[in-house]
Every structure is written in structure tokens, then in C-alpha cells.
Amino acid sequence: MTTTLRVGGVPEHFNLPWHLAIESGEAEGIGAAVDWRDYASGTGAMLADLAAARLDLAVVLTEGAAFGLARGLPIEAVSLYTASPLIWGVHVPPASDFVAIGDLGSARFAISRPGSGSHLMSLALAIEQGWPADGLVFEVVDDLPGAVEAFREGRADAFLWEHFTTGPQVEAGVFRRVGDFVPPWPAWVVCASLSCWQRDRDRIAPLLELVADGARRLLAAQDRAALIAGRYGLGEPAVEQWLATTEWVPRPTPPADAIAKARFMLETAGAI
């Protein structure tokens, strides 16, 4: 009997191993069918749908998983997805007077939604810079296009988003990047709704093994940069830089240590 698992993730290059695993058709051999759902608005939206059992699995940011677990959401952190951290680009409008990260203590930060990576990483940046985290001002913009609009309309002054995903906006002069912020924990974890974990946990580990195989196939492909660039609208040189900074876990791996590090940051920032 085949079980359909509803799986969510951002429509970004990190999740190409999932698509390769789905397209291979190998999930049918473990009795699973994957209904993939793109979440342009990111981790906060996926956590809400996991908690409401509208999703079964999701690839979410580690700090988001820590935030959701601390709030008592009915989710289970199943495994690390990457072993490497995320590089967060710190962006301002092109005509902004802000020239460096250290200038942003009084900035209005665009965030996709409360509990999202863009929100939680703004708090982490405040901790690193020594700003009072409870003094940050946030503007909810839903997603990357929303941040572009908020900058254009003068409603926000700064925006944190994955460095390579915003490359086209930086090259087009829509964003100006004033630096990068790299948190000290792996970027992505796979979470399950509690109902899915209780019902289908025997299928989850084999599915994650297939995804890890997809990552290995991707890294072994000679045309990997062209493949990723073509699917995600990125330049091949940027893709090669991204691949040099990214490491997927080779097998399902407990995420407890990474989540503990992220939770400590959230506690320090007063977010939980």
C-alpha cells in the first residue's frame, strides 16, 4: 500500500535533491508517494501548516524548528537536511544611506512573517551586533517579491534572505548587499507533523535516504552547475560558489544539537 506524503519546502536550489528523488520514482519502492508543495513565504508558513496537519513533512530552517518546538507546536524534528549553515545576505534599498551591517540598529527589517527565518535571523543579527533585540522594528512582507515592493515603497530599510537566491536582485540593482551573516548551526532540518510521525515514521527514514541519494547524484553530475542554474534562474559561477559552501547530510541525522544552538539564540533574544 502506498502512502502519499505532503512535503513542503522553499522553491530554492537547496531542495533540488528532493525533486531528483521524486523524479526518479524510487519512492514507490518504499511505499511512499511525495506530493511536493512549494512555499515561497518560507519556514513560518510551513510550520503553521505542519501544526494544522495540512503538511506531513517540511524542510524548514533550523531556527524556525527551534522556535516552533519551543512554542509547543505538534511537530517532530526528524533529521538534519544540511550539515552546513545558511549564508544570509543582508540587503538594503539601492539608494539607502546604510552602508554596513553595523549601521542597521535603527533599521526597519522586512520579514516574511513572525517566526520565519528572515524574522529570527534579524534577531540573531541583533544579538551578534549588540543591539537590543526587543527594539527591532519589523515590516511583514510575505516573501521575496514583497520585500522588493517594501523597499520600493519605503516601508522597510533592511532584509535578510539567502545570499545566492537574492543574487539576481543584487545584480539588477534592486537590492544592495551590505554584508552577510552566517549563524553557527546547520541551515535546514526536516520536520514532520506529529500525526504523520506517529502514523508513517517507518517510511520517513527510507524517504530521507532517497533524498540523500539525490544529493549525491547531483554532486556527481558533471553538468550540475548548468542544471541548477537553469532550474532556478541563477548564474553558473554563483552556483559553483554555492555548491562549495553547501553540504547535505549523507543519511538521516538527529538534529538535537543544532536545534539546541538555535534555541539558545532565541532565548538570548527574548523570542521564546
- pLDDT of 115 reads 87
- pLDDT of 76 reads 97
User: In the chain, what is the straight-line distance between the N-terminal and C-terminal CA atoms, in Å?
Assistant: 41
- pLDDT of 7 reads 98
Model pLDDT for residues 137-158, shown as the tens digit of each residue: 999 999 999 999 999 999 999 9
Whole-angstrom Cα distance, residue 7 to residue 79? 14
CB neighbour class for 237 (10 Å; exposed up to 12, middle 13-18, buried from 19): exposed
Does residue 171 contact residue 96 with C-beta atoms inside 8 Å?
no
- pLDDT of 41 reads 86
- pLDDT of 28 reads 82
- pLDDT of 47 reads 96
- pLDDT of 60 reads 97
pTM for the predicted model, two decimal places = 0.92
Regions in the chain scoring below 50 on pLDDT? none
- pLDDT of 175 reads 98
Does residue 208 contact residue 190 with C-beta atoms inside 8 Å?
yes
In the chain, the domains with their CATH numbers are 3-85+185-269 (3.40.190.10), 88-181 (3.40.190.10)
